[in-house]
A and B are shown apart, each in its own frame.
Chain A
């Protein structure tokens, strides 16, 4: 599985949504991405990519696209 696939899968499984809903998805844009969902997303991403996210990154992860940027820039994950 590529990193992008793994990233998408983390979102789809955490929020129980289909891949076509990912583009442009933002925090609180769907009921399942509330603060509880956010916590679960962070946990899933940390496990999937074997990383520990910093506080700032946890807070900044405000959209599907922003997350890719964070993982690329701060955790050396290639997309």
Chain B
């Protein structure tokens, strides 16, 4: 069992914005009803929303060893169809309103505005006994590449988060991130472990209803990606008059600008709150590092130290360990939360642990003399857009596949992607296509037409040379 739900049987597990409240006892009982219908270990697609039904399904699947694939309920139809054809799950657990999207599937059970659909095209495939759940890498370009997380991964990471945040059953975190997003999920996992109360809403920070719910239910913590903090700053968050219950702000999903880091750290210090910058990746379940609140100001710009049970070190280009402070190297993490590996097709689900507890993060970092780490760059070609990881090579492939091998190159900085194309007539269409594929706000995407994509003699794209257009 992942969570000891009966231990907290009478505690309130979830409150939603309509005032519906369920206890841990109900969470367990209602969950068992779903898994009793399924009755076997198999694959289930869970279309996630921050609502009670979604969480009941999730906890039941994990506790009863049914393997969920956590997907955003807003996932574009084409991408979802592709995933269904690749993974052929036995069941889908989805919001009632989405059942019309699957006219061929029979609804076999419904509760809390969620329905269980039986998929006649499902196949029973061998699942590795340790496989707990599948998540997409933060962003989604409809790629069938999933991360395989084990039961142990989920448990040890939730435990570790509980320890370093000092969580207890009095906590009332409010949902600000989707639960199919590793950071959002880690908030749920770690708080259910201690019998705390989740305040669930799909409202955004920009809505009065969100803050009404926040205040009425006396939320104790808030989590956000860098863009969340830009919004909070823009809203003059510091002057919002939030209830005294509110104690903790956590940040992950990309690097906050040092100026904003400082601003929120100073706000927290002056108001008796904790501001905790964290670092992680879906490949390490969720968290790898955190900056203790007491160091938030002094170590501004740092993502901190390894979480309890984990270790960091840096390696140079030859794989040798770097022990001198302030030398940049690739960040390597070791810990039991390092996931099993990736899956790209159904047959991969039988695979076991391919990483042995060691993750080359692909992030370039430095360590100061006190052992605090600073992310300074990235080895892999991806951007974080509003907290979502978007793989640039994948974007290039999508464009080339759709537009008849037109030469293109995507690059940029976090929150700003630049799509370089060689055919001005197609420029707008390319941009629209990538906006719809990623499902992210169009403000992040610019398209630039150039005569030729710069390449070296071997035909490799010289992305660096494109920087002059946007730096």
Q: Do B235 and A55 touch across chains, with their CB atoms under 8 A apart?
A: yes
Task: Take A16-B442, A32-B443 as given contacts and tell me if A39 and B234 are in contact as well, using a CB distance cutoff of 8 Å.
Answer: yes
**Distance between Cα atoms of A32 and B443 in the complex (Å):** 8
**Distance between Cα atoms of A32 and B211 in the complex (Å):** 22
User: Which of A31, A32, A40 gathers the greatest number of chain B CB atoms within 10 Å?
Assistant: A31
**Distance between Cα atoms of A39 and B229 in the complex (Å):** 11
Q: Do A35 and B443 touch across chains, with their CB atoms under 8 A apart?
A: no
Q: Do A34 and B441 touch across chains, with their CB atoms under 8 A apart?
A: yes
Residues of B within 8 A of A32 (CB): 441-443
**Distance between Cα atoms of A57 and B2 in the complex (Å):** 44
| Bitwise interface map of A from 27 to 50 toward B, beta carbon under 8 Å scored 1, else 0 | 100011011111110110000000
Q: Do B236 and A27 touch across chains, with their CB atoms under 8 A apart?
A: no
Distance (whole angstroms) from the CB of A30 to the closest CB of chain B: 10
Distance (whole angstroms) from the CB of B433 to the closest CB of chain A: 14
| Bitwise interface map of B from 145 to 168 toward A, beta carbon under 8 Å scored 1, else 0 | 000000000000000000000000
**Distance between Cα atoms of A38 and B207 in the complex (Å):** 10
**Distance between Cα atoms of A27 and B217 in the complex (Å):** 24
Residues of A within 8 A of B257 (CB): none
Q: Do B231 and A35 touch across chains, with their CB atoms under 8 A apart?
A: yes
Nearest B residue to A52 via CB reads B236
Q: Do A59 and B208 touch across chains, with their CB atoms under 8 A apart?
A: yes
Distance (whole angstroms) from the CB of B260 to the closest CB of chain A: 13
Whether a CB of chain B sits under 8 angstroms from the CB of A70 is: no
Q: Do A59 and B211 touch across chains, with their CB atoms under 8 A apart?
A: yes
**Distance between Cα atoms of A37 and B442 in the complex (Å):** 8
Whether a CB of chain A sits under 8 angstroms from the CB of B206 is: yes
Task: Take A16-B442, A37-B443 as given contacts and tell me if A58 and B206 are in contact as well, using a CB distance cutoff of 8 Å.
Answer: yes
**Distance between Cα atoms of A14 and B441 in the complex (Å):** 11
Point out the residue from B208, B227, B236 that lies within 8 Å of A36, measured CB to CB.
B227
Residues of A within 8 A of B239 (CB): 55
**Distance between Cα atoms of A62 and B210 in the complex (Å):** 13
Whether a CB of chain A sits under 8 angstroms from the CB of B240 is: yes
Task: Take A35-B231, A59-B211 as given contacts and tell me if A54 and B443 are in contact as well, using a CB distance cutoff of 8 Å.
Answer: no
User: Which of B227, B231, B239, B444 gathers the greatest number of chain A CB atoms within 10 Å?
Assistant: B231
Whether a CB of chain B sits under 8 angstroms from the CB of A60 is: yes
Residues of B within 8 A of A43 (CB): 234
Residues of A within 8 A of B211 (CB): 59
Distance (whole angstroms) from the CB of A45 to the closest CB of chain B: 12
Q: Do A36 and B207 touch across chains, with their CB atoms under 8 A apart?
A: no
Task: Take A27-B207, A36-B227 as given contacts and tell me if A54 and B236 are in contact as well, using a CB distance cutoff of 8 Å.
Answer: yes
Q: Do B443 and A42 touch across chains, with their CB atoms under 8 A apart?
A: no
8 cross-chain pairs, A with B, having the tightest CB-CB distances, nearest first: A36-B441, A35-B204, A38-B206, A35-B206, A59-B208, A55-B235, A55-B236, A58-B235
A residues near B (Cβ < 8 Å) are: 14, 16, 27, 31-32, 34-40, 42-43, 54-55, 58-60, 62
27 A-B contacts (beta carbon < 8 Å):
A14-B443, A16-B442, A27-B207, A32-B443, A34-B441, A35-B204, A35-B206, A36-B227, A36-B440, A36-B443, A37-B441, A39-B206, A39-B227, A43-B234, A54-B236, A55-B235, A55-B236, A55-B237, A55-B239, A58-B206, A58-B234, A58-B235, A59-B208, A59-B235, A60-B208, A62-B207, A62-B208
